[in-house]
Amino acid sequence: MKIAVIGTGYVGLVTGVALSEIGHHVTCIDVDPSKVETLSKGIPTIYEPGLEELMKKNMAAGRLAFTATHSEGLAEAAVVYIAVGTPKRADGSANLDYVEAAAKDIAHNITQNVIVVIKSTVPVGTNFHILNVINANVQPGIQVKIASNPEFLREGSAVNDTFHGDRIVIGAEDEATADTLAEINAPFDMPILKTDISSAEMIKYASNAFLATKISFINEIANICESLGANVEEVAKGMGFDHRIGPDFLKAGIGYGGSCFPKDTNALVQLAGNNHHDFNLLKSVIEVNNNQQVLLVDKILSRFGNLEGKRVAVLGLAFKPHTDDLRESPALVMIPKLAELGADIIAYDPIAIDNAKRQIKEEIEYTEQLPTALQNADFAVVITDWPDVKNIDLSEYNQLMNDPIVFDGRNCYSLDAVKQATIEYYSIGRPDQTSELIS
- On whether 212 is known to bind a ligand per the annotation, the reply is no
- On whether 271 is known to bind a ligand per the annotation, the reply is no
- On whether 257 is known to bind a ligand per the annotation, the reply is yes
Q: Which helix (H) or strand (E) holds 79?
A: strand 79-82
SS3 content of the chain, % helix, strand, coil (to 5): 45, 15, 40
* Whole-angstrom distance, CA of residue 117 vs CA of residue 83: 9
- On whether 320 is known to bind a ligand per the annotation, the reply is yes
- On whether 63 is known to bind a ligand per the annotation, the reply is no
- On whether 374 is known to bind a ligand per the annotation, the reply is no
Residue 147 contacts residue 178 (beta carbons within 8 Å):
yes
- On whether 251 is known to bind a ligand per the annotation, the reply is yes
Residue 352 contacts residue 330 (beta carbons within 8 Å):
no
Give me Rg for the CA atoms of the chain: 24
* Whole-angstrom distance, CA of residue 182 vs CA of residue 339: 52
Count Cβ neighbours within 10 Å for each residue of 116-134 and write b for 16 or more, e otherwise.
bbbbbbbbbebbebbbebb
Residue 146 contacts residue 170 (beta carbons within 8 Å):
no
- On whether 384 is known to bind a ligand per the annotation, the reply is no
Catalytic one among 28, 225, 260, 412? 260
Sheet containing strand 168-172, edge to edge, reads 64-67, 25-29, 2-6, 79-82, 114-118, 144-148, 168-172, 192-195
- On whether 30 is known to bind a ligand per the annotation, the reply is yes
- On whether 166 is known to bind a ligand per the annotation, the reply is no
- On whether 253 is known to bind a ligand per the annotation, the reply is yes
- On whether 152 is known to bind a ligand per the annotation, the reply is yes
- On whether 35 is known to bind a ligand per the annotation, the reply is yes
* Whole-angstrom distance, CA of residue 24 vs CA of residue 44: 20
- On whether 86 is known to bind a ligand per the annotation, the reply is yes
Q: Answer yes or no: 225 catalytic.
A: no
Q: Is the dihedral of CA 228, 232, 233, 238 positive or negative?
A: positive
Q: Which of 83, 39, 85, 88 is nearest to 65 (CA)?
A: 39
Say whether 27 sits in a helix, a strand or coil.
strand
- On whether 128 is known to bind a ligand per the annotation, the reply is no
List, as residue ranges, the binding site for NAD(+): 30, 35, 86, 121, 155, 263, 327
Binding site membership for substrate: which residues? 152-155, 204, 249-253, 257, 320
Q: Which positions are annotated as active-site residues?
A: 260
Binding residues: 30, 35, 86, 121, 152-155, 204, 249-253, 257, 263, 320, 327
